[in-house]
Amino acid sequence: MNAYQRKYVDEVRHIGEVQLKPDVEPLIPRYREIIEMENRIDVIDTKLRHINNYLDSLRLKELELIERSKILDKTTELLETTRRQRSYSVNGLDDYRLERMAQGQLKNRNIPEGNKIYTATVCGQNALVQFYDVETPINDVRVNEYIQKKVFLIMCPGQQLFIKIKKICDAFHAVQYPLPEETHSQKHKTLSAVAAAENFQTWVIQFTKLRGIFATMNLYQKTEKGFLVEGWCSNNDYSLLTGIIDQINKKVGVQGQACVEKVPTNSTPPTYFRSNKFIKGFQNIVDSYGVATYREINPARTPSSRINVFGTSFKLPNHLNHTNVDLSIDSLHKGTKPYPFGVDPAWQLSENKILFLNSFKMKLSVILGVSQMFFGVILSLFNHIHRKTSSAFCSNLFLKLFFALFIWLFNCTCFAKWLIVWDDKPAPSILIDFINMFLMKYPDKPAYLAPWFDHKQLIQTILLILALMQVPIMLLVKPVIKVVFHSKNHDSIGNEDHSESTGDVFIHQAIHTIEYCLGSISHTASYLRLWALSLAHSQLSEVLWSMVMRAGFASSSSNDLVRIATTYLAFGFWAILTVAILM
């Protein structure tokens, strides 16, 4: 393919023809266009002037910084030299105290050559003058040229002489810059800052309390006689509150008497759970899912079950706080009998170790998960008894128990499988049976794989159907009971409100039903996830032990120091990787 056969040849040729056309001269602008062009040019000119002024100020600032840096370098060099020498030994410099110092830059005109100290007489008094050469010319934007300058330092003992020297420097058009404050002033500021830093934390606490006081006072209602505020207080803390008010009244005196009175109300009090450092971690976990209403049972008071499951599944002694330390301690005490830690160590040497431990952990996770779900449903029994809600008692408690029971009753086969001796035939797979129960699949099996209890297909089908029947019952019982027993108490005007409240009940009940049905499955999956993590952690730990620690122990070196160093490094590498895996 040549150049004339390519895809965009016509476009390139057209553009070339357009470029060959002669340029068209612009037309003479109209008067209105001239005014618009003039306004546009004025705007552009103003912007350019601002940019130029800003650029000039930046250049001037750069010049000032360069000159100041040169002066500071030379002044620091002089002061450091005299500090090392402990005295001024050049041309009688030791006779002066450097109480005042003028410094700046001058052009190289009528200035003595060399870096020497001269004694100048000003108005009958002596001053020390030091000149330093600046190595490279400086671009002075004030005159727009490069100028070779010198740095001068003038030291004098008094204030009046210092003022006169400053005037002389101004007469010679010297550029002067003030030095930083003297050393003793800097030390004074440093000590002041250190003293303030010591009290900083106290000030932070005081201002935090003060801000909290004013934030609380914003909630008060201003009256003619003072401030009025309403709040909630625990019955156990009421005596403590009155005691604090009495102490405040004694300190303030007669003019500011505060009082506390109990006010009857029909409002629902806010939820308040008394906790400590140990329970606070578990309480925060529970509150992250939802805060219980007033006088409901607090599930955070039963942390032992969660610790038990955690210890069984994870065995992760890790972060040092109250919650995780307790979890770690519980993870270590698993299996005190007949072996101090874990299962029988003989399984570590068996060929089917992974199959046994994997099956055992999986079944144990499901059993503990289902038991804890039953425990959570039973906890709601106390709330229904306290509220005396029969409809919720029937629809929420018994139906949920029946739903979970009909589904997870098949877990009893786990215990049956553990109790039966399977010497003459292979043990059945509970996982496969459980999956087939939900899929309602009952494939034909050989004689040695026949169902290991009678009427297995019928029992599984009945359990699944009964579990599915609980879903519409849970959804309809509570709203129907509300409609039947409460519709007679409403007149024709209130029927709309009643229908709306009934609709809300249907919606809320549907949400709770779906949440519970799906949650019963997802919670079990969560416990199975803990089982999978436990299995992965154990396998990775074994790999690290065999590949790292065992290799360190098996060092073939005859030198004891080499073997010790190898074991030490292997242990460090193994410990770091083990902790990283657990994290």
User: For residue 251, what are its two tokens?
Assistant: 């300190």
Alpha helices in 96-222 (DSSP H): 159-171, 183-217
Adjacent-strand bridge partners of 296:
none
Q: For residue 133, report the phi and psi dihedrals to the nearest 5 degrees.
A: -80, 140
Half-sphere exposure of residue 551: CA atoms within 13 angstroms, side-chain side: 11
Whole-angstrom Cα distance, residue 29 to residue 41? 15
CB atoms < 10 A from the CB of 330, how many?
Answer: 21
User: Is 123 in contact with 168 (CB distance < 8 Å)?
Assistant: no
Q: 333 Cβ partners below 8 Å, 6+ apart?
A: 311
Q: ω into residue 338 within 30 of 0, thus cis?
A: yes
Q: 181 Cβ partners below 8 Å, 6+ apart?
A: 189
Q: Terminal CA-to-CA distance of the chain, rounded, Å? A: 63
Task: List pLDDT tens digits, range 407-447.
Answer: 777 677 777 777 777 777 777 777 777 777 778 777 666 54
User: Is 63 in contact with 140 (CB distance < 8 Å)?
Assistant: yes
**Exposed e or buried b for every residue in 66-78, given b needs 16+ CB within 10 A?**
bbbebbeebbeeb
Adjacent-strand bridge partners of 106:
150
pLDDT in tens, the chain (583 residues): 666 667 677 777 777 776 666 555 666 767 777 788 888 888 888 888 888 888 888 888 888 888 888 877 777 777 677 666 554 444 444 444 445 666 666 666 545 554 444 555 555 567 777 777 777 787 777 777 788 887 877 777 777 777 877 788 777 777 777 766 555 566 667 777 787 778 888 888 888 888 888 888 888 888 887 888 888 888 888 889 888 888 888 887 756 678 888 888 888 888 888 888 777 877 888 888 778 888 888 877 775 445 454 444 444 333 334 455 555 555 544 544 556 656 777 777 888 888 888 788 788 777 777 777 788 788 877 887 777 776 666 666 677 777 777 777 767 777 777 777 777 777 777 777 777 777 877 766 654 455 566 777 788 888 888 888 888 888 887 777 777 776 655 544 444 444 456 778 788 888 888 888 887 777 777 777 777 777 788 788 888 888 888 877 777 777 778 888 888 888 888 888 888 877 6
Whole-angstrom Cα distance, residue 254 to residue 576? 67
Whole-angstrom Cα distance, residue 265 to residue 52? 73
User: For residue 426, what are its two tokens?
Assistant: 């292979």
User: Is 90 in contact with 117 (CB distance < 8 Å)?
Assistant: yes
Whole-angstrom Cα distance, residue 42 to residue 55? 20
In terms of phi and psi (left: phi > 0; alpha: psi -120 to 50; beta: otherwise), the region of 566 is alpha
Long-range CB contacts for residues 198-203, cutoff 8 Å, separation at least 24: none
Task: List pLDDT tens digits, range 252-304.
Answer: 775 667 888 888 888 888 888 888 877 787 788 888 877 888 888 887 777 54
Total-model pTM = 0.49
User: For residue 551, what are its two tokens?
Assistant: 């290799």
Burial (CB count within 10 angstroms: exposed 0-12, middle 13-18, buried 19+), residue 365: buried
